[in-house]
Amino acid sequence: MASERIPVTLTINGQKIVRDVESRTLLVHFLRDEMNLTGTHVGCDTSQCGACTVLLDNQAVKSCTILAVQADGSEILTVEGLEGEHLHPIQEAFREKHGLQCGFCTPGAMMLGAYLLNRHEPLTEEIVREHLDGLLCRCTGYENIVRSIQRAQEIMIERQTLQSRPVTGVG
């Protein structure tokens, strides 16, 4: 017996999307299978690994724990939505500080990092590690992930400082 299809309206990576989805479709499967946003990984199917983390209305959530219909009316940011004209500070920092190994948990780690950056608080090692508690990484030992998230905050501060400098005449 087929599951009921329900209309949902979502804003995904800044783009408004209207689709009919099966009522039982998990957000992670909707993103991957229907929107082809495969950067959001399915790791454990038990909500333990964090590879499927996205930002839902600016909150870090494991997209395998939410039905797509529950997200109706929400804004979702996936790892694909981080990059604009330039690399997002979290992407730049992960590259600079080697915050990935095999790359499987990387999208979830980057999205957790983006969430932390949006909170506008100093990201001490303790705060970063506390928030990484729900992310499983079998490769890095978390050291470079923590350094990457902290470095991303430094990059954001550097960019804000550059933008706030007065423009002087060119001689």
| Predicted confidence (pLDDT) per residue in 77-106, tens digit | 999 999 888 899 999 999 999 998 888 899
Q: Distance between CA 8 and CA 18 in Å, rounded?
A: 6
Q: What is the pTM of this model?
A: 0.90
Contact at 8 Å (CB) between 153 and 113? no
Query: Tokens 């790892």 sit at which residue?
Result: 79
Can you point out the beta strands (E) in 13-52?
Answer: 15-22
Judged by DSSP in three states, 5 sits in strand
pLDDT at 1 over 60: no
Domains (range + CATH), the chain: 5-81 (3.10.20.30), 89-163 (1.10.150.120)
pLDDT in tens, 108-153: 999 999 999 999 899 999 999 999 998 998 887 899 999 999 999 9
Percent with pLDDT over 70 in the chain: 95
pLDDT band at 2; cut points 50, 70, 90:
low
